[in-house]
Structure 1
Amino acid sequence: MATHLPSDEALDIIEEEARAMAQCYGVAAPAEAAAALIERLLLRLNGAHIYMPKQSSRKRVSEHQEISRRFNGSNLFELAREFGMTPRHVRRILAKPRAGVVRSSTTGQLPRTSSLDTIHRDGGERDVEQRREPPYR
Structure 2
Amino acid sequence: MNNATTRNTTPAAAANKLDPITVLREELAAAALCHGVARVEDLTEELVRRYVARLGGLNVYVRNERVLERERMAKKVCASFNGCNTRELARSFGLSVRQIQRILTQVDNA
Corresponding residue number in structure 1 for 2:43 = 33
Taking the aligned partners of 1:90 and 1:46, their CA distance within structure 2 comes to 39
Structure 1 range deviating more: 27-36 or 53-62? 27-36
The equivalent position to 1:66 in structure 2, one of 70, 76, 101, is 76
Gaps of 5+ in 2: 1-15
What amino acid sits opposite 1:76 in the alignment?
A: T
Q: Would the alpha carbon gap of residues 13 and 73 (structure 1) be closer, same or farther in structure 2, given more than 3 Å must change?
A: same
What amino acid sits opposite 1:63 in the alignment?
A: M
What amino acid sits opposite 2:68 in the alignment?
A: R
The higher radius of gyration belongs to 1
Corresponding residue number in structure 1 for 2:20 = 10
Q: Does residue 77 of the first structure (1) align with residue 87 of the second (2)?
A: yes
CA RMSD of aligned residues (A): 2.3
Could you list the per-position Cα deviations for residues 68-117 of structure 1 after superposition, in whole angstroms to 9, with x for gaps in the alignment? 00112343223212322101110121123177xxxxxxxxxxxxxxxxxx
* TM-score scaled by length of structure 2: 0.69
For residue 30 of structure 1, report the CA deviation from its aligned partner. Answer: 2.5
Question: What is the identity percentage for the equivalent residue pairs of Structure 1 and Structure 2?
Answer: 32
Corresponding residue number in structure 2 for 1:130 = none
Corresponding residue number in structure 1 for 2:34 = 24
Taking the aligned partners of 1:98 and 1:63, their CA distance within structure 2 comes to 17
Taking the aligned partners of 1:26 and 1:78, their CA distance within structure 2 comes to 50
Where is the helix percentage greater, Structure 1 or Structure 2? Answer: 2
